[in-house]
Amino acid sequence: MDCSLLRTLVSRYCAGEENWVDSRTIYVGHREPPPGAEAYIPQRFPDNRIVSSKYTFWNFIPKNLFEQFRRIANFYFLIIFLVQLIIDTPTSPVTSGLPLLFVITVTAIKQGYEDWLRHKADNAINHCPVHFIQHGKLVRKQSRKLRVGDIVMVKENETFPCDLIFLSSSRGDGTCFVTTTSLDGESSQKTYYAVQDTKAFHNEQEIDALHATIECEQPQPDLYKFVGRINVYHDRNEPIARPLGSENLLLRGATLKNTEKIFGVAIYTGMETKMALNYQSKSQKRSAVEKSMNVFLIVYLCILVSKALINTVLKYAWQSEPFRDEPWYNQKTEPDKKRNLFLQAFTDFLAFMVLFNYIIPVSMYVTVEMQKFLGSYFIAWDEEMFDEGTGEGPLVNTSDLNEELGQIEYVFTDKTGTLTENNMEFVECCIEGHVYVPQVICNGQILHDSTGIDMIDSSPESSEQELSLPNHLKFYRKWLAGAAKEREELFFRALCLCHTVQVKDDDSVDGLKKNQAPRKPCIYISSSPDEVALVEGIQRLGYTYLRLKENYMEILNRENNIERFELLEVFSFDSVRRRMSVIVRSSIGDIFLFCKGADSSIFPRVKEGKIDQVRARVQRNAVEGLRTLCVAYKRLSAEEYRNVQKMLQSAKLALQDRDKKLAEVYEKIETDFILLGATAVEDRLQEKAADTIEALQKAGIKVWVLTGDKMETAAATCYACKLFRRNTQILELTTKKIEEQSLHDVLFDLNKTVIRQNGSLTRDTFSGLSADTQDYGLIIDGAALSLIMKPRHDGSSGNYREIFLNICRNCTAVLCCRMAPLQKAQIVKLIKLSKERPITLAIGDGANDVSMILEAHVGIGVIGKEGRQAARNSDYAIPKFKHLKKMLLVHGHLYYIRISELVQYFFYKNVCFIFPQFLYQFFCGFSQQTLYDTAYLTLYNISFTSLPILMYSLMEQHVSPDTLKREPSLYRDVAKNALLRLRAFIYWTFLGVFDAVVFFFGAYLLLDNTVVTSNGQIFGTWTFGTVVFTVLVFTVTFKLAIDTHYWTWINHFVIWGSLVFYIVFSLLWGGIIWPFLNYQRMYYVFMQMLSSGPVWLGIILLITVSLLPDVLKKVLCRELWPTATERIQKASRHCREHISEFTPLACLKSPRYRSSDCSNSPARRSNSHSKKVMFTQWRGIDYSVLPSVFGYSNKHWRSSAGYHYSGSGLETSI
């Protein structure tokens, strides 16, 4: 073992924590500590410059070239180019060098321009003015000159120039309000707290006199975590140590609001600020199409090597005859005869590699990048995905996964804020077994927004007794016979005090007096909608939370008296504990610990109270889909509180494992509660959430809900959003089941159930909704999942996982409840890495969903009310869950169709391009003679055939977007990478080979010993190659035109324009003697070729023969084995062509006219419009005018006149 490592380990575990903790010490105001206090060790920290740029002026060229040549295709063409320079090759180095130079230059210009914009933005930030304190005075300097330890002053509406520890504020209570929109997207104002010992310093002189040091952790990117402590020195006494947390840290990029000014000390500057550390990009995700491209590239590379190898072998076999190897007109020189045979063969092999290298399309990568980049704007520009309520539209954080949206097999979705609105409304609370509803019943009608209480006894016995009493007697009987008033008031006080809600500043609140309107509703602000709903609900029940002032919380009781409680401690909510607590001291000195949290977190810690009644009410509310919280309390003596304070102080001052130590302290303190009651809050389902899930299931996508809510609440939401249906058989894999049976027995019983129903065959991943087979829904909780994932005693957990996966495969939908954030990611990873390797998508709106969003193939964040952590870490962001339908079924479908055609087409046109060159070697003695001119070799992929496929890949719509939304089943036609499978790849390759054979041998037969010119001359080699190339360019362009379904003027322009450009270029290239060329073998070749009538006829004939097999295949497949997409296309076309304004009604009986797929965008009309149809009769046949037949489905019934039509068409006068 290395001695230095051993010393490090010994010092860590023997010398104590403080000697090895990875921390930094900051001297506030650069003032040394008092003599004898501690050693002054100056440290070096970076300045405050922000550098988001990637390159500098000096390293741009080498660094950019290095990064570009790391791509396998670019590196390959560089090698080919170098080979052309080194050895004697049949083609000019320009043919490989120019396309490569074009690709490299375009990419470098794009990246250079983007980096120049970054430099420009950096300079604007780094030169902005900042105010800081120097020698008791306020000095102004540039932001980039700020150093760690400087004391900075920030004014209202200014952004913080670096990460600051909050020292003091212009507000008397030492608080300030901050918005962090630029960091996490949360627009609500957050409250931050100054250090207790420095908050009284309000001017420059007082702050400059501060003697303190700060110890804190080294920079790390978590925006919501900070660990540190401040030591404040007073007159050479022992320093006072105070803990520092995230509530004391003001982050760079955040903005000061509603506070005149603050003072803070810089602790992280420049690239060490949390904002800068979050610049780092997420791990690179690769789409299935990109993986297929790489596989195809390897296949074609093997084909290229095989071609070169075959030609090399055949060359030496053909030259084995002496008269062929050394003909009389081409005698070998002496050096050639002495040359090593193997070296010569290797050189020939490289020459053939150069000759055939165009089968690898270097320009394809540039085209794909441009298609992805430009195509991503179609999502951002989609007006249907813009939410007017929030003013938000879709965001594209990466364009690399556009086509992956069309390949999704599993959708993992959060519940709260994703399926639901996260707009909480207080419904009721249960205290000591009695239910309180914030409304009044008057004459049988419910008066909402009242300040009274409707109390209902939840016990069944009293419910039976009260049936015989009048309504008004029931109410007063329950009111008088309710629980002790003390418990009731404690419950209301607990909800008024146990929260982190802020009251928006209002003069009426600050100057509130008893004789003023005390019930005027306050405006509450919180990052949690649940807390706001609870505080507002309790306000309607008579208790109003007023404000937090100078560490005292003020509430207004039913008697309009203000009660003040000193806030002693806050135990913040976290997803592991699933609860929060506060310790407060009343005005008479009583100390209370109030706690609220999930029932699973509170009930095990309760020692007394009406547990059974409250639990029954909680379960009932959960079944109805309400979100429930339990409330408990305990009294603390002064001695107990002192012990609590000591434990908390010790944990808070720790720089190592502070969170773990705090959790241990919370666990000790939050015990032996007295249960007060529970609350119920309703979170309504989002608009069209059920419709979206139904459409996804019809598309063959399995939808899983992963939530931290309790099982009953989540199950009710799943039924509401149609994830579970009435005929769905629910299978439970929960802790309760496992307690009754062993995990092994439960898993095997469920496995037998699903296999028995499906005849021992697992359902296909794309089963969707089926009427023939039983639909199963699985419910699993977090504890059961932990047991499944936990390794067994024999050291493996694979068996249980496989059984669990088999059960999931046969279930239409799965609900995972009581899930921790990491368990959500664990579920996604489990499915992602299963043997089918399905494409997964995770969607959520909160920070607890980030882990699964990053784990899935595609991560989508919902821009919700829980901040933008999910949106920031996602690949795409949408305003509402309903927009997922269009994103997948329309955008994803079309993106996949477009890019799959782009990839296949590129390889196809390059096979057409190079295979004639391969065939030509058999007719030129394998002499490596090129068939095409150098200009054609260079410009084929760059100019002649590039723009049409790029425009196709941006604009193609094989089916209208409305049809794709209406027919989700069409999504299955492209599922599982259907268009890039081996079968499709082989078809395109063989189509390219067939077309190449037609080009070559068709031109060969046309020109072989045939007089095709008027003067009796015979065409030569370059004319032969030009004929082949002309047929090639026209055929591959017409092939793309045949595949195009959606024509715009842009498509017409680029397709026909590229053909015109080829002709014009050929005329100019061969019609002018260019002075910069040493030789011009194409002079007058193209004009002479066009002067021949047989060549014109041959070109037309060869193009027709080349395209014929593909056309026949399309026609036969559409008629005999049509896909769902082709049936829809045919029906849509039939509707457009054959339904006229006067159509026989009997014809409308045909199913194809009743198809909902024959619609364009439906006409807008009011529901109040009557529905009329204009009839006419001609020659005894009824006809009707159908002005909106495409917008609505048709209904028919038989009348005496034949078929009668009634539809919801637009109003039409007769």
C-alpha angle 28-31-34 in degrees, rounded to nearest 5? 110
Beta carbons of 230 and 239 less than 8 angstroms apart:
no
Sign for the CA dihedral angle at 1043, 1048, 1054, 1055 comes to positive
Long-range Cβ contact pairs of 279-284 (< 8 A, separation 24 or more): 279/52, 280/221, 282/854, 282/873, 283/854, 284/400
Beta carbons of 450 and 441 less than 8 angstroms apart:
no
C-alpha angle 860-866-869 in degrees, rounded to nearest 5? 50
Instruction: Say how far apart CA 131 and CA 137 lie, in whole Å.
Output: 10
Instruction: Say how far apart CA 509 and CA 639 lie, in whole Å.
Output: 36
How far from each other are the two terminal CA atoms of the chain, in whole angstroms?
Answer: 99
Using a 10 angstrom Cβ sphere, with 0-12 exposed, 13-18 middle and 19 or more buried, the burial of residue 931 is buried
With the CA atoms of 892, 893, 895 and 897 taken in that order, what torsion angle do they form, in degrees rounded to the nearest 10? 160
Beta carbons of 634 and 674 less than 8 angstroms apart:
yes
Query: In sequence order, what are the residues at sequence separation of 6 or more whose Cβ sits closer than 8 angstroms to the Cβ of residue 938?
Result: 94, 95, 98, 99
Q: How do the residues of the chain divide into helix, strand and coil, expressed in percent and rounded to 5?
A: 50, 20, 35
Burial 72-101, CB ≥16 within 10 A → b, else e: ebbebbbbbbebbeeeebbbebebbbbbbe
The closest of 321, 545, 530, 560 to 427, measured between CA atoms, is 530
Beta carbons of 282 and 221 less than 8 angstroms apart:
no
The residue assigned the tokens 């026609």 is 1115
Q: Are strands 249-250 and 163-169 parallel, antiparallel or unpaired?
A: antiparallel
Note if 414 is an active site residue. yes
The number of C-alpha atoms within 13 Å of 874 and in the hemisphere containing its C-beta is 27
Report the run of H or E that residue 535 belongs to, with start and end. helix 529-540
With the CA atoms of 281, 283, 288 and 294 taken in that order, what torsion angle do they form, in degrees rounded to the nearest 10? 90
Pick the catalytic residue from 382, 414, 775, 1110: 414
The closest of 570, 583, 576 to 600, measured between CA atoms, is 576
The residue assigned the tokens 């375009």 is 106
Q: Are strands 524-525 and 445-447 parallel, antiparallel or unpaired?
A: unpaired
Beta carbons of 707 and 679 less than 8 angstroms apart:
no
Q: Is 1012 helix (H, G, I), strand (E, B) or coil?
A: coil
Q: Is 695 helix (H, G, I), strand (E, B) or coil?
A: helix
DSSP string, 170-225: SSTTSEEEEEEHHHH-EEEEEEEE--TTTTT--SHHHHHT--EEEEEEPP-S-TT-
Token pair for residue 298? 């390897």
Beta carbons of 814 and 841 less than 8 angstroms apart:
no
The closest of 293, 230, 263, 6 to 138, measured between CA atoms, is 263
Task: Identify the DSSP state of 1166.
Answer: -
DSSP string, 900-936: HHHHHHHHHHHHHHHHHHHHHGGGTTT----SS-HHH
Angle between helices 821-832 and 798-809 (to 10 degrees): 80
Cβ neighbours around 909 below 10 Å, total: 27
Residues belonging to the active site: 414
